[in-house]
């Protein structure tokens, strides 16, 4: 599993010019599920992302997590053209599991659509 995170003040996902997800201050997570991933690996990755201390505290130190700031999480499936040709049902299931697991462990979680052509906006 590969996860790329970015702190955002807002982020959104559009599919065919229709907004499918939107968050305010939080983390944009681009998530790639690899063929050998499991539910355990997925849980560990999501736990890490939720706990990363990438937000500034009152002393301007990167010392707060998404939990600490009550921030939002936007999970977007990220696959290269080659990987799209090899998508499996288990890839979709693990992506969906990552979203469900995140929602069960954190407040506001939105997601893109698996295997869709998406436009991601963030600032």
Which pair of tokens denotes residue 57? 């505290």
Contact 14, 118 (CB under 8 A): yes
Q: How many helices (H) and strands (E) does the chain have?
A: 4, 9
Query: 32 an active-site residue?
Result: no
Told to judge if 79 belongs to the known catalytic residues of this protein, a careful annotator would answer yes
Q: Is 78 known to be catalytic?
A: yes
Q: Which of 32, 42, 55, 78 is catalytic?
A: 78
Residue 26 backbone phi and psi in degrees, to 5? 170, -140
Among candidate residues 42, 55, 79, 114, the one labeled active-site is: 79
Q: Which helix (H) or strand (E) holds 74?
A: strand 72-77
* Helix (H/G/I), strand (E/B), else coil: 31: strand
Instruction: Give the catalytic positions in this structure.
Output: 78-80
């Amino acid at each position: 599993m590969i996860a790329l995170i970015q702190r955002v003040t807002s982020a959104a996902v559009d599919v065919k010019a229709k907004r499918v997800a939107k968050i305010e201050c939080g983390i944009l997570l681009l998530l790639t599920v690899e063929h050998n991933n499991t539910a355990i690996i997925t849980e560990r990755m999501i736990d890490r992302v939720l706990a990363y201390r990438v937000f500034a505290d009152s002393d301007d130190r990167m010392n707060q997590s998404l939990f600490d700031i009550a921030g939002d999480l936007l999970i977007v499936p990220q696959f290269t053209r080659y990987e799209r040709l090899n998508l499996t049902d288990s890839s979709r299931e693990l992506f969906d599991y990552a979203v469900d697991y995140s929602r069960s462990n954190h407040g506001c979680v939105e997601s893109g659509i698996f295997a869709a052509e998406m436009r991601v906006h963030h600032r």
